[in-house]
Structure 1
């Protein structure tokens, strides 16, 4: 079984679109095993739980306001349910119909994909220009995104799983995978589209990074 973990903190505005994209990826005709999608509701006080329920998606609840804990909780649940592969994205992100198939086709212990931004309308041209000058969406890149990460369950457990960090939990996991000798594929062929919103759900996350480019 393939497991997909999506942490969410008050994501009712974007969660439905994310889940629709993941459901499409899970229904890809080249997938020959079931896919279980799990939304980890982290201290949600909005309608995120209702949206997941309406769409038939399983949920778990955490209260830590901690994305590392949320990803860890989801991964542990899905591994316990028999997942051999874990795919991670975020509730403000859209994955492609080939997202899961391409991760598995890499035949690696872990796959680090790239992200593209949905719209730069809320940011100045300076932010976009600075971002694009620093970001290299090419094969062999070294970008790490919790919004586009796949990992074999065995390799994940060998590396110790996600640490309960409020930020950069994805970077720490990949570094631990490297230290454990995991074979990691860094590919730009399997990109996802993520929000460029200014309202951060995670301190030091992608939204805060974009805001920092305004004065960089």
Structure 2
């Protein structure tokens, strides 16, 4: 049966896979256990050199809901875009994403799908939690939800950790996301920018207050990786693009986006200062310091009423007491050192 003649699927779950053989079986088991029948799972093997490709093929052979695609290594964004293209060929009405080392709650698809349809919005999301091993105990999924109407849902995307930047704790109407949004020339914060653009197109978001997505922490997970210079450039670029694309009809959202941008500068400077090899990032730190210094007295940046007090203090310390602030960062900010 070809994609053109296959039955339409209500939801397509897209899983980019690259050298994830150690965790992929657990991810696939959680997907197979979904208490929602009308979905397909598109596994996009992105040039894996371990057993991931074989695991994808085996899943497709043993369960008709799974589809295996293989491509030369092109990165997670290109893999997601390829998955979306196949989802459209499958006639999917909704899109969801899962990383190959993570797990869905068994009611993830059912709960978000019900909330989005009942609220008549093209977008739903839930909280996530983190785990190592074993997976966390599953709490019951809620029967209710809260609707974040525009621009509240955009505010939440920027500032509410429960909504978060990730693509993986959300359900999207298929027409809300385009392949160009996903493959946006960023290697870091690519999901934040894609979400911002999708949220701009949505009149609101249904928020389901439960940990529907389980994010695995391990040595190769994003929160434990080194800090490549491209990460600093991409994160700053994403924040700049967000700040420059707020619709004129939402001046309060512009204030919020300005605060988000300035907070990102301060955060990235702290990421550098906490490292033992901070001198290797002196060009990036210099550029960030110029931006932080220029914004200290700016009512849209350093004196923005939406800016948290702790960020104001950190910005001041970055500019006026850099040696002391570096010592503080090295002592108290332990991740990615």
TM-score normalised by L of structure 1: 0.76
Question: Out of 99, 115, 120, which is 2:128 matched to?
Answer: 115
Question: Out of 39, 47, 55, which is 2:59 matched to?
Answer: 55
User: What are the equivalent positions in structure 2 for 1:45-194 lying under 5 Å apart?
Assistant: 45-56=49-60, 57-107=66-116, 108-119=121-132, 141-157=162-178, 161-164=181-184, 165-194=186-215
Asked whether the 8 Å contact 2:111–2:208 carries over to 1, the reply is no
Cα gap change, 1:190 to 1:105, in 2 (>3 Å): farther
Q: Which has the higher contact order (CA 8 A, sep 6+)?
A: 1
Residue 154 of structure 1 aligns to a residue whose secondary structure is coil
- Listed as ranges, the gaps of 5+ residues in structure 2 are 1-8, 61-65, 135-159, 228-270, 272-332
Give the Cα–Cα distance (whole angstroms) in 2 for the partners of residues 182 and 60 of structure 1: 33
Q: Is 1:214 aligned to residue 334 of structure 2? A: yes
Deviation at 1:190, TM superposition (A): 4.4
Asked whether the 8 Å contact 2:123–2:171 carries over to 1, the reply is yes
Asked whether the 8 Å contact 1:113–1:145 carries over to 2, the reply is no
Cα gap change, 1:118 to 1:40, in 2 (>3 Å): same
Residue 87 of structure 2 aligns to a residue whose secondary structure is helix
Asked whether the 8 Å contact 1:103–1:111 carries over to 2, the reply is yes
Cα gap change, 1:82 to 1:163, in 2 (>3 Å): same
May I ask how many residue pairs the two structures share in their alignment? 188
Cα root mean square deviation, aligned: 2.7
Give the Cα–Cα distance (whole angstroms) in 2 for the partners of residues 182 and 170 of structure 1: 19
**1:51-91 residue CA offsets vs partner (Å, 9 max, x unmatched):** 12222232112334411111111011111210000110111
Which structure has the greater CA radius of gyration?
2
User: What are the equivalent positions in structure 2 for 1:23-34 lying under 5 Å apart?
Assistant: 23-25=32-34, 28=35, 31=36, 34=38
Residue 13 of structure 2 aligns to a residue whose secondary structure is strand
More helix by share: 2
Cα gap change, 1:206 to 1:80, in 2 (>3 Å): farther
